[in-house]
A and B are shown apart, each in its own frame.
Chain A
Amino acid sequence: MLVQKHFESDRFIPDKEMDACGLFGVMNTKGEKFGGSMAINAIKNMKVRGSGLGGGFAIYGLYPEYKEYYALHIMYQNKNLDAKRRVEAFLKEHFYVVYDEEIPTNPDVALFFPPIVWRYYVAPQKKSEDQAIPDDEYVVTRVMYLNTNVDDAYVFSSGKDVGVFKGVGFPEEIADYFMLDKLYQGYIWTVHSRFPTNTPGWWGGAHPFNILDWTVVHNGEISSYGTNRRYLEMHNYYCTLHTDTEVLAYAVDLLMRRQNLPIEIVSKIFAPPMWDAIEQMNENDKKLFTALRMTYAPLLMNGPFTVIIAHHNEMIGLTDRIRLRPITAGAKGDFVFLSSEEASIRAVCPDLEIAWTPPGGEPVVVRMNSQDHLLSVKKSI
């Protein structure tokens, strides 16, 4: 038995077991809302992909009552009440706060150093000089300000009608802690089970990563992090969460919201075809892909990855171009699934109609009221 303050020496701890994170996403393409049981059971099925050092959920269609307002989820590390006072003073100055509360948690679930987690429904309170700035832009800037300037305070969810719940623990424990299955419903659920290898496992570092209504869950490692991060800083995005996945969330916001590019193009920026594959293309494609590689070279995501990106009405699965991390898609009726492992989809949907695995760099795009996800089937196995 170890008594408090005496721990095993670092030299005698178990060797780090190299494994991989687990991802799962499910969307109802008719927009009908459902509870968390599928997401929770599927990620539980992939327990060996995580290490209990991070788990989290993103839920879309979460706050119908307040869907006009930005729902800010803010964590105060170390239960730092001074940080909370500073944040709230800032919110008072820059937003109209219509309602706020502590996010309800289950006191029976013991987790690793839980922070205070609070949510605020807000609308921008613009000064006259800010009138020309779009709301989304205004919110992003304020979120970046809080994350970089207030110690111990992190805005980890800032979209309308969407919410992220995350922390240190296995994802099913996080679900229990925030009572997700009992309290919430949504039409997209994405979930992540973390196995941190290069960066600390802490509450802010759990996935999903969010900005506005964009969320990203990620398995892999982005070895181009430094390049990506510097490029994003030029566009006013600041990485504060000590982990590589953060750049993906901001890159998606930059390319898809601000520059209005479709995901089919964005996926070719993150995971561009090899130059020798471009050689084989027709003239038009050759021009397009060369231009993309030249223009967006600093947003190429190098290294192995699988991501599930989501925002309202869309869920996207994508791997790196030589698929060094796994993904499987499945569909049944209006439900479309993306997962690290096929068996976890089968476990929550035993009568699945179709399962497929796209080639590296080829996105599976699940859209509201469409069958677009099936476009990737032809190229898949």
Chain B
Amino acid sequence: MNGLNVKFGYRDNFLGDIRPVDELIAEYTVLDGGKAVINAGAMKHKEVNDVLREVALRGAFEITVNNVYGQRYIGTRLVLPREYKPVKIVINNFPGNDLGMFLKGHQIIVNGNAQDGVGNTMDDGEIIVHGRAGDVVAMSVRGGKVFIRDNVGYRAAIHMKQYKEKLPVLVVGGTAQDFLGEYMAGGIVMLLGLNLRESEPHRANYIGTGMHGGVIYLRGTVEQHQLGKEVGVRNLDDADREIVATYVKKYCEHFGGNAEEILKGNFIKLLPVSLRPYGKIYAY
């Protein structure tokens, strides 16, 4: 039966019926000097990325994409020749999964909610979401910054990493669901809890399970049983406070709010207690 499927039934739902990029630009794009406006309403995700790439190559550096409803991978594949500067992409309003996947230095601003996998394995750049985001936000990021105004779903910052000057940062204004910072290997996560009531604990359980690098700064309350076995709680030192202040101010630049007030809140710092939590299990 499976053989039959393959022979008669399999169709390529990703790459079928893709229209040529020139046709799409003529029909759906207004290009005006450095600015471009794309109407993505009738486009598939590959078409959106084809057009993004083409308008950037034609010199646009401020690109607005309208009528986005669930197109995936927006901003991936946007690796421009050396002489081009990074571009700014404004998305209205609801991009699909893996927004900014492998992002290479560009800025993406979302005026709405994002779905799962925001910034998946991004290399550099900035993603700013004026809304909430779904699961696995900032999964495996290796550089760049992700700012989410409201809440995030499960497994935010899973396997985030860092190397030399590459230091990824995830700032979340609200709270998170379970497994925040799971298997985290590097980078900085900040959870501000701005939409929680006074002394209401964060929603996540299993925070930092399997964490073995990086740091989580958490504003607000969290019970001991919400933490994974691999993290320890510390107070902030002066260097930490400086980092926190920097990114809280950036958060307020993007979304508004009073940085001074936010910084008055109670912050804790979560660190891995071991660099190789599973070394004894898998070593042979």
Inter-chain contact B13/A50, CB cutoff 8 Å: yes
Inter-chain contact A112/B9, CB cutoff 8 Å: yes
What 10 A-B pairs have minimum CB-CB distances, sorted nearest first?
A343-B70, A381-B151, A200-B1, A347-B69, A343-B94, A7-B7, A52-B11, A201-B5, A343-B69, A346-B94
Number of contacts between A and B (CB, 8 Å)?
107
Residues 82-115 of chain B, each 1 if its beta carbon lies under 8 Å from chain A, else 0:
0000000000011111000000000000001101
- In the bound assembly, the distance between CA atoms of A347 and B179 in angstroms comes to 30
| B13 / chain A contacts, CB cutoff of 8 Å | 47-48, 50-52, 170
| A52 / chain B contacts, CB cutoff of 8 Å | 9-11, 13
Interface: A53 (CB within 8 A):
yes
Q: How far is the CB of B223 from chain A (nearest CB, A)?
A: 8
Interface: B154 (CB within 8 A):
yes
| A201 / chain B contacts, CB cutoff of 8 Å | 2, 5, 9
Q: Knowing that A13-B10, A51-B10, A342-B134 are A-B contacts, what are 19 other residue pairs whose CB atoms are under 8 Å apart, sorted by A's residue number?
A: A7-B7, A51-B9, A51-B11, A53-B9, A276-B225, A280-B225, A322-B178, A326-B134, A326-B153, A341-B115, A342-B113, A343-B69, A343-B94, A344-B69, A347-B69, A355-B113, A381-B150, A381-B176, A381-B177
Interface: B14 (CB within 8 A):
yes
Give the residues from 108 to 140 in chain B that come closer than 8 angstroms, CB to CB, to chain A. Answer: 112-113, 115-116, 132, 134-135
Q: How far is the CB of A289 from chain B (nearest CB, A)?
A: 15
Residues 108-143 of chain A, each 1 if its beta carbon lies under 8 Å from chain B, else 0:
000011000000000000000000000000000000
Quick one: given A10-B3, A381-B152, A381-B153, are A277 and B205 in contact (CB under 8 Å)? yes
* A-side interface mostly: loop
Inter-chain contact B10/A14, CB cutoff 8 Å: yes
Inter-chain contact B152/A46, CB cutoff 8 Å: no
**Interface size counted on chain B using CB atoms at 8 A:** 45
Interface: A230 (CB within 8 A):
no
Give the residues from 51 to 69 in chain A that come closer than 8 angstroms, CB to CB, to chain B. Answer: 51-53
- In the bound assembly, the distance between CA atoms of A88 and B1 in angstroms comes to 27
| A322 / chain B contacts, CB cutoff of 8 Å | 154, 178-179
Inter-chain contact A342/B3, CB cutoff 8 Å: no
Interface: B142 (CB within 8 A):
no
Inter-chain contact A344/B134, CB cutoff 8 Å: no
Chain B residue at minimal CB-CB distance from A355? B113
Quick one: given A200-B1, A323-B154, A381-B132, are A341 and B10 in contact (CB under 8 Å)? no
- In the bound assembly, the distance between CA atoms of A311 and B271 in angstroms comes to 48
| B179 / chain A contacts, CB cutoff of 8 Å | 322
Interface: B6 (CB within 8 A):
yes
| B238 / chain A contacts, CB cutoff of 8 Å | none
Residues 151-193 of chain B, each 1 if its beta carbon lies under 8 Å from chain A, else 0:
1111000000000000000000011111100000000000000
| B45 / chain A contacts, CB cutoff of 8 Å | 48
Quick one: given A52-B10, A381-B151, A381-B174, are A341 and B97 in contact (CB under 8 Å)? yes
Residues 8-49 of chain A, each 1 if its beta carbon lies under 8 Å from chain B, else 0:
101001100100000000000000000000000000011110
Quick one: given A45-B70, A323-B153, A359-B203, are A14 and B174 in contact (CB under 8 Å)? no
Interface: A379 (CB within 8 A):
yes
Residues 354-379 of chain A, each 1 if its beta carbon lies under 8 Å from chain B, else 0:
01010110000000000000000001
Inter-chain contact B95/A14, CB cutoff 8 Å: no
Inter-chain contact A346/B93, CB cutoff 8 Å: yes
Interface: A168 (CB within 8 A):
yes
Interface: B72 (CB within 8 A):
yes
Interface: A165 (CB within 8 A):
no
Quick one: given A14-B12, A359-B203, A381-B151, are A343 and B134 in contact (CB under 8 Å)? no
Q: How far is the CB of B107 from chain A (nearest CB, A)?
A: 21
| B152 / chain A contacts, CB cutoff of 8 Å | 381
Residues 26-47 of chain B, each 1 if its beta carbon lies under 8 Å from chain A, else 0:
0000000000000000000100
Interface: A209 (CB within 8 A):
no
Interface: A76 (CB within 8 A):
no
| A17 / chain B contacts, CB cutoff of 8 Å | 14
Q: How far is the CB of B35 from chain A (nearest CB, A)?
A: 25
Chain B residue at minimal CB-CB distance from A328? B134
| A344 / chain B contacts, CB cutoff of 8 Å | 69-70
Chain B residue at minimal CB-CB distance from A321? B178
| A113 / chain B contacts, CB cutoff of 8 Å | 4, 8
Give the residues from 41 to 98 in chain B that come closer than 8 angstroms, CB to CB, to chain A. Answer: 45, 68-70, 72, 93-97
